[in-house]
Amino acid sequence: MTDDTEELYSLLVPLSDDRLIVPRACVAEVVRYTQPAEQPGHEKWMLGTINWSGRELPVVSFEGTIGKEAPAPTGRTRIVVFFSSTGAIKSGHFGILTQGFPQLVRVNREVLKLDATEGWPEDAPVLCRVKMINEYPLVPHLEQLEGMIVKETAQA
Protein backbone atom coordinates (compact mmCIF):
# COMPACT_ATOMS: atom_id res chain seq x y z
CA MET A 1 0.00 0.00 0.00
CA THR A 2 1.45 3.39 -0.95
CA ASP A 3 1.09 6.55 1.11
CA ASP A 4 -1.52 7.86 -1.34
CA THR A 5 -3.96 5.05 -0.57
CA GLU A 6 -3.57 4.98 3.22
CA GLU A 7 -6.83 5.69 4.99
CA LEU A 8 -7.61 6.71 8.53
CA TYR A 9 -10.90 5.99 10.24
CA SER A 10 -12.03 9.28 11.70
CA LEU A 11 -15.05 10.78 13.40
CA LEU A 12 -16.86 13.97 12.46
CA VAL A 13 -18.00 15.34 15.81
CA PRO A 14 -20.95 17.77 15.46
CA LEU A 15 -20.73 21.03 17.39
CA SER A 16 -23.42 23.72 17.45
CA ASP A 17 -22.29 25.35 14.18
CA ASP A 18 -19.12 23.47 13.24
CA ARG A 19 -17.59 20.00 13.32
CA LEU A 20 -14.39 18.50 14.63
CA ILE A 21 -12.53 15.74 12.82
CA VAL A 22 -10.56 13.35 15.02
CA PRO A 23 -9.00 9.91 14.57
CA ARG A 24 -11.39 7.18 15.68
CA ALA A 25 -8.68 5.77 17.95
CA CYS A 26 -8.83 8.93 20.14
CA VAL A 27 -12.41 8.21 21.21
CA ALA A 28 -13.26 5.76 23.98
CA GLU A 29 -17.05 6.08 23.93
CA VAL A 30 -20.02 8.32 23.24
CA VAL A 31 -22.37 8.65 26.21
CA ARG A 32 -25.73 10.28 26.73
CA TYR A 33 -25.69 13.76 28.14
CA THR A 34 -25.61 14.12 31.91
CA GLN A 35 -25.54 17.57 33.52
CA PRO A 36 -21.94 18.07 34.71
CA ALA A 37 -21.41 18.98 38.36
CA GLU A 38 -20.21 22.57 38.09
CA GLN A 39 -17.11 23.64 39.89
CA PRO A 40 -16.79 27.32 40.81
CA GLY A 41 -13.97 29.41 39.44
CA HIS A 42 -13.65 27.63 36.12
CA GLU A 43 -13.56 29.12 32.67
CA LYS A 44 -16.94 29.05 30.91
CA TRP A 45 -15.75 26.30 28.56
CA MET A 46 -15.06 24.02 31.53
CA LEU A 47 -18.54 22.63 32.18
CA GLY A 48 -17.62 20.49 35.19
CA THR A 49 -17.40 16.75 35.74
CA ILE A 50 -19.63 13.72 35.37
CA ASN A 51 -19.30 10.23 36.82
CA TRP A 52 -18.21 7.98 33.97
CA SER A 53 -17.39 4.34 34.68
CA GLY A 54 -16.64 5.19 38.31
CA ARG A 55 -14.30 8.05 37.36
CA GLU A 56 -14.62 11.82 37.49
CA LEU A 57 -14.67 12.85 33.83
CA PRO A 58 -13.98 16.53 33.07
CA VAL A 59 -16.37 17.80 30.38
CA VAL A 60 -15.73 20.82 28.17
CA SER A 61 -17.53 22.83 25.54
CA PHE A 62 -15.22 23.03 22.53
CA GLU A 63 -17.23 26.02 21.33
CA GLY A 64 -16.27 27.77 24.56
CA THR A 65 -12.56 27.11 23.97
CA ILE A 66 -12.76 28.99 20.66
CA GLY A 67 -14.54 32.01 22.11
CA LYS A 68 -18.16 31.06 21.42
CA GLU A 69 -21.02 30.40 23.82
CA ALA A 70 -21.48 26.85 25.09
CA PRO A 71 -24.64 25.45 23.48
CA ALA A 72 -27.69 24.64 25.57
CA PRO A 73 -28.24 20.88 25.85
CA THR A 74 -30.93 19.34 23.64
CA GLY A 75 -32.26 15.83 23.19
CA ARG A 76 -29.43 15.18 20.72
CA THR A 77 -26.63 16.34 23.04
CA ARG A 78 -24.03 13.70 23.86
CA ILE A 79 -20.59 13.60 25.46
CA VAL A 80 -17.73 12.19 23.41
CA VAL A 81 -15.21 10.58 25.77
CA PHE A 82 -11.62 10.98 24.60
CA PHE A 83 -8.54 9.09 25.75
CA SER A 84 -5.93 11.32 27.37
CA SER A 85 -2.89 11.11 25.14
CA THR A 86 -0.63 13.03 27.52
CA GLY A 87 -1.52 11.09 30.67
CA ALA A 88 -1.83 14.38 32.55
CA ILE A 89 -5.55 13.99 33.30
CA LYS A 90 -6.04 11.86 36.42
CA SER A 91 -8.98 9.83 35.06
CA GLY A 92 -7.15 9.16 31.78
CA HIS A 93 -10.10 10.57 29.83
CA PHE A 94 -12.01 13.80 29.17
CA GLY A 95 -15.30 14.62 27.50
CA ILE A 96 -16.35 17.10 24.83
CA LEU A 97 -19.99 18.16 24.54
CA THR A 98 -21.40 17.30 21.11
CA GLN A 99 -24.65 18.10 19.37
CA GLY A 100 -25.42 14.62 18.09
CA PHE A 101 -23.69 11.35 17.34
CA PRO A 102 -20.30 11.50 15.64
CA GLN A 103 -20.20 10.24 12.07
CA LEU A 104 -17.61 7.62 11.10
CA VAL A 105 -15.67 8.57 7.94
CA ARG A 106 -12.59 7.25 6.18
CA VAL A 107 -10.13 9.91 5.11
CA ASN A 108 -7.06 9.87 2.92
CA ARG A 109 -4.80 12.43 1.26
CA GLU A 110 -7.12 12.72 -1.73
CA VAL A 111 -10.19 13.87 0.20
CA LEU A 112 -8.50 16.00 2.86
CA LYS A 113 -7.08 19.43 1.98
CA LEU A 114 -5.86 22.24 4.22
CA ASP A 115 -8.23 25.22 4.37
CA ALA A 116 -6.59 28.57 5.11
CA THR A 117 -9.60 30.23 6.75
CA GLU A 118 -9.38 30.63 10.49
CA GLY A 119 -11.82 32.31 12.84
CA TRP A 120 -10.68 31.23 16.28
CA PRO A 121 -8.51 32.92 18.92
CA GLU A 122 -4.75 32.45 18.68
CA ASP A 123 -4.63 30.49 21.96
CA ALA A 124 -7.52 28.18 20.98
CA PRO A 125 -6.86 24.41 20.88
CA VAL A 126 -7.18 24.23 17.09
CA LEU A 127 -4.47 22.98 14.74
CA CYS A 128 -6.24 23.96 11.52
CA ARG A 129 -9.38 23.68 9.42
CA VAL A 130 -9.53 21.19 6.56
CA LYS A 131 -11.70 20.82 3.48
CA MET A 132 -13.13 17.34 3.13
CA ILE A 133 -15.38 17.08 0.09
CA ASN A 134 -18.16 19.54 1.12
CA GLU A 135 -17.26 19.74 4.83
CA TYR A 136 -14.87 22.15 6.57
CA PRO A 137 -14.16 20.54 9.97
CA LEU A 138 -11.69 21.79 12.57
CA VAL A 139 -8.74 19.65 13.62
CA PRO A 140 -8.50 20.06 17.40
CA HIS A 141 -5.18 20.27 19.21
CA LEU A 142 -6.11 17.62 21.78
CA GLU A 143 -2.84 17.85 23.73
CA GLN A 144 -3.32 21.61 24.18
CA LEU A 145 -6.92 21.02 25.25
CA GLU A 146 -5.73 18.48 27.83
CA GLY A 147 -3.27 21.05 29.18
CA MET A 148 -6.09 23.58 29.49
CA ILE A 149 -8.23 21.01 31.35
CA VAL A 150 -5.40 20.11 33.72
CA LYS A 151 -4.77 23.79 34.47
CA GLU A 152 -8.47 24.42 35.17
CA THR A 153 -9.01 21.32 37.31
CA ALA A 154 -5.86 22.05 39.34
CA GLN A 155 -7.32 25.43 40.31
CA ALA A 156 -10.49 23.85 41.69
Task: Write out pLDDT tens, residues 94-148.
Answer: 999 999 999 999 998 888 888 887 788 889 999 999 999 889 999 999 999 999 9
What is residue 156's predicted lDDT score, i.e. its pLDDT? 52
CB 43 within 8 A of CB 156: no
DSSP lists the bridge partners of residue 103 as: 12
- Check residues 39 and 21 and name the one with the higher pLDDT: 21
The answer to whether domain 3-154 has CATH 2.40.160.20 is no
What is residue 1's predicted lDDT score, i.e. its pLDDT? 42
Residue spans per domain, the chain = 3-154
pTM, full prediction: 0.91
Q: What is the pLDDT of residues 46-105, one digit of tens each?
A: 999 999 999 999 999 999 999 999 999 999 999 999 999 998 998 899 999 999 999 999
